[in-house]
Amino acid sequence: MGRDAATPPGRQGFRMPAEWAPHAATWLAWPHKQASWPGKLERIPPIFVEMARRLAPGEAVHINVVDADMAGAAEEALRAGGVARDRVSLHRIPTNDAWARDHGPIFLNHPDGRQVILDWGYNAWGNKYPPYDLDDVVPRRVGELLGLPVVEPGMVLEGGSIEVNGEGTLLTTEACLLHPNRNPTLDRATIEARLRDYLGVRHILWLGEGIAGDDTDGHVDDLTRFVSPNAVVTVVEDNPSDENYEPLRANLERLRTMPDQDGRPLTIHTLPMPEPVEHEGQRLPASYANFYIGNQVVLLPFFECAQDEVARQTLARLFPTREVVGMDCRDLVWGLGAFHCLTQQQPAPGSGGAGERLGGAGLTVP
């Protein structure tokens, strides 16, 4: 990693850029686990094709596949979907499931252009969905592929449980990071120290509970997202009889008291919650906060209700240089996640966190 491999990267000047910082690429894992979308798996690959088609004009897209048969199926689907194949690469990196946000590599940048990958421990959200042995080693496999150093912080953490602004502030939830099914031997102070040492943050903000139906124990990417170094967008529920009403109101009240890394109050924008989405009697974690910020587009989950357009217009105001693309996620969320859960950004080397810099997608892995 450079100067002192024994020193955590955050102490060496590395940091995790904000999601809107220029990407070299987006990483996906081709869907194949029937148990994640029981009865609907055949409807999921076309959604991945459309995601790749929308992202590829602005950045490279890397897709992990289990074997040659899956690679062939993915190739055929991408070609039929009109995806620019010179912008998409398939890699034989086997996975147990498709949730690249949570098991995939987290990239850190240094101002001098160096990059490092963090390989946090992964236990499928508290050992809920074994096996997860293949997912757990994906960051190291990606590091080998890209020739980047890989560092293990020695703590279980999913990418969807944290949100950074690239300027030193991190958002997370007590419900997830303090849950005993992740790191039962680590207390809050130790977890905070680990986040600072390995992500290069200095200011940590804690929200409370997650949304109904979220099997991750309260990931922040279904709740609140940074949209600039000093501003967040957070979901709210207007129906007092809905089970999300009180937890989301409590999180909003916390945000109103929170400063950024420079002591300034956060600017808070709100997104509505969609109408409840259920399947086979199960409440699903449908949330507009699970959007993904690409170089040229913002992929926004739609749930075919009136709130879709409100969410689209809100994000269009917040990301004026990007096209906000709404896509029907009623089938996708049957897997208990949406676009942010399925993606992991690879920042361009040297890119930071501030501003609306678009950048190009300059990396292609053969």
Please pick, among 176, 305, 329, 341, the residue that the annotation labels catalytic. Answer: 341
Q: Is 139 a member of any domain?
A: yes
Q: Is 144 a member of any domain?
A: yes
pLDDT at 365: 27
Q: Is 3 a member of any domain?
A: no
3-state secondary structure 160-197: HHCEECCCCEEEEEHHHHCCCCCCCCCCHHHHHHHHHH
Q: What angle do CA 323, 328, 334 make, to 5 degrees?
A: 130
Share the mean pLDDT of the chain: 94
Number of domains present in the structure of the chain: 1
Burial class (CB in 10 A: 0-12, 13-18, 19+), 69: exposed
pLDDT at 351: 84
End-to-end CA distance of the chain: 24
Q: Tell me, yes or no, if 341 is annotated catalytic.
A: yes
As a whole-number percent, the residues of the chain with pLDDT over 90 amount to 93
Q: Is 1 a member of any domain?
A: no
Residue 234 and residue 272 in contact, taking contact as beta carbons nearer than 8 Å: no
pLDDT at 5: 60
pLDDT at 352: 76
Residues with Cβ within 8 Å of 119's Cβ and at least 6 positions away in sequence, in order, are 105, 137, 139, 140, 143, 150, 151, 152, 153
3-state helix, strand, coil in the chain (%, to 5): 30, 25, 45
Interval 20-78: pLDDT, tens? 999 999 999 999 999 999 999 999 999 999 999 999 999 999 999 999 999 999 999 99
pTM of the predicted protein model: 0.95
Q: Is 356 a member of any domain?
A: no
Range of the domain at 200: 9-347
Q: Is 291 a member of any domain?
A: yes
Q: Is 357 a member of any domain?
A: no
| CA–CA separation, 319 and 296 (whole Å) | 10
Q: What angle do CA 64, 68, 71 make, to 5 degrees?
A: 45
Q: Kindly state the tokens that stand for 167.
A: 């300027």
pLDDT < 70: residue spans in the chain: 1-5, 353-366
- Which CATH number do you get for residue 149? 3.75.10.10
Residue type present at position 343: T
Q: What angle do CA 45, 300, 358 make, to 5 degrees?
A: 105
Interval 178-220: pLDDT, tens? 999 999 999 999 999 999 999 999 999 999 999 999 999 999 9
Q: Is 225 a member of any domain?
A: yes
